[in-house]
Amino acid sequence: MIRGTALGAVLALFGSVLTLPEAGLAREQRCADAATQHVAGLGVEQADVKEISVLAQSQFVDGEPKTIGYQAWVDLNSCDRGKLVIKMSLGCQYKTAFTTSGCEVAGVC
């Protein structure tokens, strides 16, 4: 399921400004499909995934927001708190992954 959430406030701490322009929703959907594959590639069982939320990662260039990639925030049944985060390129290719406090995934920092 894809939805805009209050995660924007958390992501702003990472130096990103997030937007979900209506025209970009199709891209977020494609990246959600790719994120599902990336999660599996990290060895996470599909049954462990509660929800995947994909957000555009933007930065301002000449005063205008420009999408520079996407982030998938993954809620896992095995994590009481925290999330698995997958950073992706504009084309939804895997760049890196990390977990937030309270969540551990083998092989991910």
Euclidean distance between CA atoms 103 and 28, whole angstroms: 24
Is residue 79 situated within a structural domain?
yes
Is residue 86 situated within a structural domain?
yes
Among the ranges 10-14, 17-21, 75-79, which has the highest mean pLDDT value?
75-79
pTM above 0.75, yes or no: no
In the block, which residue shows the tokens 């925290």?
82
Q: How far is CA 1 from CA 32, 50, 81, in A?
A: 8, 9, 19
Which residue range is the domain that position 47 belongs to?
7-99
Pick left, alpha or beta for residue 107 (phi over 0 → left; psi -120 to 50 → alpha; otherwise beta): left
Share of the chain above pLDDT 70, in %: 75
The pLDDT value recorded for residue 29 is: 78
Asked if 87 contacts 73 with a C-beta cutoff of 8 angstroms, the reply is no
pLDDT bin (cut points 50, 70, 90) of residue 3 is: very low
Tally the domains of the chain.
Answer: 1
Is residue 71 situated within a structural domain?
yes
pLDDT mean over 37-62? 94
Is residue 107 situated within a structural domain?
no
pLDDT mean over 12-38? 64
Is residue 51 situated within a structural domain?
yes
pLDDT bin (cut points 50, 70, 90) of residue 44 is: very high
Residue 76 vs residue 28, higher pLDDT = 76
Is residue 94 situated within a structural domain?
yes
Is residue 18 situated within a structural domain?
yes
DSSP string, 45-91: -GGGEEEEEEEEEEEEETTEEEEEEEEEEEEETT-SS--EEEEE-TT
